[in-house]
Amino acid sequence: MKTIKTVGVVGAGTMGSALAQKFAQENFKVILADREMKFVEKGLNGIKAMLAQGVEKKVFTPEQANATILNITGTSDLNDLVVCDLIIEAIFENFDAKKDLFKTLSNITLPDTIIATNTSSFSVTELSAYVKYPERFLGLHYFYHAAKNRLVEIIPGEKTSAETMDAAKVFCIKSGKDAITCADAYGFVVNRFFVPWLNEAVKIVEQKVATKEEVDAICMEAFGIGMGPFALMNATGVAVAYHSEKTLEIFGEPYKVASLLKQQSELNNPWELGENSSLTVDEKKERIIKERMLGIVFFVVSEIIDEKICTASAINQGARIGLQWKKGPIDLMKELGDVTVKELIFGYVSSYSNVQIPNSIGINFWETEHVLFLKKGDTAFITINRPQDLNALNVDVIAQLDEKFSLAEYNPEIRNIVITASGKAFVAGADINFFVENITTHHIENIASFTSLGQNVFHRIDNSVKNVVMLLNGLAFGGGLELALCGDIILAVNTAKLAFPETGIGIYPALGGTFRASRRIGKGLTKYLICSGNVLSVGDAEKIGLIDKAISIDDMCELLAGNLPLNSFTQKHDKHFNGKFSVVEKLFNNYSIDNILSGNITGDEIPSEIKAEIQKRLGQKAPIALKISENLINNNSGDNEALEEITSIFSTNDALLGLSSIGKKVQFQGN
C-alpha cells in the first residue's frame, strides 16, 4: 500500500488553501500550487490569517501555527509536484480545465503517485480517462471549510485499484478526516440531496410562496441548523450551488435549476437577506415550506438508496458531519415514520410529470449500521462507526456491538478480536440525550435497562476466551473507557485522552469502570480518576498501567491494514510511576472523600498544593455520585451493586442538572 508523506494541492483558492492548511497541521509536507505565484501567495496569506485567528482563540499554540506554515511550500511550477505521493486537484469546476490539468500531471508524476479530484459534481470515471494509469485515480471530495469540516467523500472510478482506495482511507484517518465511501454518480452523496434542497428553497421564493427570510427561518427549525439555505449559499457561493445543480439536471425534472438561481449566479452577487431571528411565519406557509423542503430531501435520499450509491449510515454521516445538521435525513425519516415520509415524497413528486417514485421507502431501507465487522485471517476487527456523535453508546450501538462480537467469538477461525472506532473518538461516553430524555419523561427504568444491557455485553467481552485488543483511536471518556477496560490488551494512539467524567455530571461509572479500573491500577488511583474526573494523556495512562502501550497513528493504521502483526503489541506493561501519581494514590488509599474534602488529613506526606488541588476538584463534583463511586470501589462491587444505584442516582436533581449542562460550570446541591 502506498505510504503518503508529501501531498500536493493544485489550486490555492478557498478550498485548496484550506486543504493545504489541514494537511500541514497533521504533519504532512504540502506543496501548494497554482498557475501564478500571486495566487499562491494569496492562499498562503489566507492560511497565515486563519492560523493567527486559531492562536488568538487558543485553538493552536504559536509553535503549532509556525510548524504548520513550515510544512507548506508554494509553487507555480507543476513540475515541483514530482516528489508528491498524493496530488489533489482543487481548481474551479470546469471539466476541460480539470482534464487538461490531469493530462499535465500524468506526464509529470511517477506511475504510483495517487491523483485525486476534489470535484463536487463531475464523474470520477469520466475524469480518469485523462490520467495515465487510471487505477491510481479517485475522487476525494472535501467540504467547506476544509480546514475545519471533517467530512470527505471517497469515490472510486471504474478502474481505481483496491490499493489506491486503501491508501486513501489511511490518508483520511491520518489527516483527521471522517470518510464516507460512495459510488461514482453525479453529486455523490451529500450534494445529491443538499444542492436540490438549496434549489427547492429558491423555487419556493421564485413562486412567491414565501420570502427568503421565511424559508431560512423555517429550515433552521425543521433541520436543526444554524443557517438557512440562502445564508448558506451566501457563505459558500451562489454560483457553486447553480453549477452543481446544473450538473444534477441529468436526473430529471425535479432537479431542474430554478430560473432565479441561474439569474442570481449570473449577477455574481449574494442574496440580499434581512433579519429572521424574530420572524413569525404563518402556519400555512410554515407547513408548505416544511413539506417541500423535507419532500425534496426524502425523495432524493430514497433515490440514492435505490441506486445503491452508499449506505443509509453514510447518508446520515454526510449530513451530520459535512452539513452540521442536527439530525440526518435517515434520522428524520425514522422519526416521522413510513406513512408520513411516503406522503411527503408523493406530495413532492405530484407536482412533476413522469417522475418515478423511488422503491426504497420504508423502515427496512433505513437501517443504520453503527458497528462494522471485518475478518482478516485469524483476527476480527470490530469498528464502532458513529463519528458524528463521537461514537457515543446508546441501545442500538450496544446491541450491534453484541451482535458483531458474537460473530467473532463463535467463529473458530478467529483468535484475536480488535475493537476500535472511527473518527476522533474511541467512545466519548454514553448518549447524554438519552439520559436527559428519560429523566424528564420519568422513565428511569429505560436507563436501568440500558445499563443492564451494557453490563451484560461488557461482561461477555471481558470474559471472552479470545484475545481481545482495545485500540483507542481517540477520546475514551466514561463508558468508552469502561469498554476499553474489558480488553486483555489496551493500545492507544499518542493523541488520545482518557477520563471518567461522570461525577462531574452528577452520575457514576456503572458499566464496570469501578472494579475493572481497580483491577488494573488499584483502588487508590481508581478513586482519584473517577472522583476527580482528571483527563489523562496517553503517556500518563501508560505510566500508571491504565493502558498497556501508546502507539503512533502510523502503527495504528498499519495494524488495521493487517501489515503489522498483532503480537507486536500484546505484551502487558507494568506500572512505572512516581511523583504526583504516587502521592495521589497514597492520599486516596489512606483517606476517605469526606476527609479529603474537610481537610482532615494528618502528617506532611501529602504536599499542600496537591491537597488543595484535589479538594478543589472534588468540591466541584456531585456529592451523591462521589459517595456511590467511593463505596463501589471500596467494596470492589460488581455489576449488580452498580445497577442497584441507578434509579436513585438518576432521580437526583444533581444528575438532571449535570447532564443538562454539559460544558457549563454548575453548583451541585447534593440532592
Catalytic residue among 17, 89, 141, 645: 141
Catalytic residue at 605? no
Average of pLDDT values for 630-657? Answer: 96
Query: Which of 363, 345, 321, 180 shows the shortest CA–CA distance to 254?
Result: 345
Separation CA 150–CA 498 (nearest Å):
22
- What percentage of the chain has pLDDT greater than the value 70? 99
Q: How confident is the model at residue 555, as a pLDDT?
A: 92
**Residue 528 grid cell:** 482519584
Catalytic residue among 17, 191, 265, 518: 191
HEC-encoded secondary structure of 255-307: HCCCHHHHHHHHHCCCCCCCCCCCCCCCHHHHHHHHHHHHHHHHHHHHHHHHC
Strands of the sheet with 72-75, listed across from one edge: 72-75, 29-33, 6-10, 86-89, 114-117, 137-142, 151-156, 178-181
Query: Which of 463, 508, 497 shows the shortest CA–CA distance to 646?
Result: 508
Please provide the CATH number assigned to the domain covering 371-659: 3.90.226.10
SS3 137: strand
Per-residue pLDDT at 368 exceeds 70:
yes
**Residue 268 grid cell:** 455574481
pLDDT of 548-586, one tens digit each? 999 999 999 989 988 888 877 766 666 677 788 999 999
pLDDT of 509-521, one tens digit each? 999 999 999 999 9
Q: Which residue do the cell numbers 471517497 mark?
A: 154
Per-residue pLDDT at 441 exceeds 90:
yes
Angle, CA of 637, 642 and 643, to the nearest 5°: 140
pLDDT of 241-257, one tens digit each? 999 999 999 999 999 99
Query: Which of 136, 101, 129 shows the shortest CA–CA distance to 115?
Result: 136
Q: How confident is the model at residue 360, as a pLDDT?
A: 95
- Contact between 459 and 510 (Cβ < 8 Å): no
**Residue 198 grid cell:** 438549496
Catalytic residue at 141? yes
- Contact between 647 and 444 (Cβ < 8 Å): yes
- Contact between 508 and 632 (Cβ < 8 Å): yes
Query: Which of 328, 314, 7 shows the shortest CA–CA distance to 146?
Result: 7
The answer, as to whether pTM is greater than 0.75, is yes
Catalytic residue among 120, 149, 316, 473: 120
Q: How confident is the model at residue 574, as a pLDDT?
A: 65
Average of pLDDT values for 514-531? Answer: 97
pLDDT of 265-286, one tens digit each? 999 999 999 987 778 889 999 9
Catalytic residue at 107? no
Separation CA 639–CA 452 (nearest Å):
8
Bond preceding residue 145 cis, omega within 30 of 0: yes
Per-residue pLDDT at 136 exceeds 80:
yes
pLDDT of 398-419, one tens digit each? 999 999 999 999 999 999 999 9
Per-residue pLDDT at 428 exceeds 70:
yes
Phi-psi region of 278 (alpha: psi -120 to 50; beta: other; left: phi over 0): alpha
pLDDT of 140-169, one tens digit each? 999 989 999 999 999 999 999 999 999 999
Sign of the C-alpha dihedral computed for residues 79, 80, 84 and 86 taken in this order: negative
Domain boundaries, given as residue ranges, for the chain: 6-181, 190-365, 371-659
Average of pLDDT values for 79-99? Answer: 96
Distances (CA, A) of 559 to 178, 376, 466: 19, 11, 18
Q: Which of 307-316, 557-566, 627-636 has the lowest mean pLDDT?
A: 557-566
The CATH label, of 3.40.50.720, 3.40.50.880, 3.40.140.10, 3.40.630.30, for the domain at 6-181 is 3.40.50.720
Query: Which of 636, 600, 627 shows the shortest CA–CA distance to 523?
Result: 636
Separation CA 313–CA 319 (nearest Å):
10
Q: Which residue do the cell numbers 478480536 mark?
A: 417
Residue 127, amino acid = L
Question: What mean pLDDT value characterizes the chain?
Answer: 95
Q: Which residue do the cell numbers 506493561 mark?
A: 573
Separation CA 635–CA 628 (nearest Å):
11
161: exposed, middle or buried (C-beta count within 10 Å: 0-12, 13-18, 19+)?
A: middle
Kindly indicate the confidence band of residue 236, based on its pLDDT and cuts at 50, 70 and 90: confident
Catalytic residue at 153? yes
Q: Which fold has domain 190-365?
A: N-(1-d-carboxylethyl)-l-norvaline Dehydrogenase; domain 2 (1.10.1040)
Which residues have CB under 8 Å from 284's CB, separation 6+? Answer: none
Catalytic residue among 153, 213, 303, 630: 153
- Contact between 149 and 143 (Cβ < 8 Å): yes
**Residue 565 grid cell:** 502483526
Per-residue pLDDT at 481 exceeds 90:
yes
pLDDT of 496-508, one tens digit each? 999 999 999 999 9
Query: Which of 509, 570, 585, 571 shows the shortest CA–CA distance to 540?
Result: 585
pLDDT of 255-269, one tens digit each? 999 999 999 999 999
Ordered DSSP codes for 78-136: GGGGGG-SEEEE---S-HHHHHHHHHHHHHHS-TT-EEEE--SSS-HHHHHTTSSSGGG
Q: How confident is the model at residue 93, as a pLDDT?
A: 87
Kindly indicate the confidence band of residue 591, based on its pLDDT and cuts at 50, 70 and 90: very high
Separation CA 327–CA 323 (nearest Å):
10
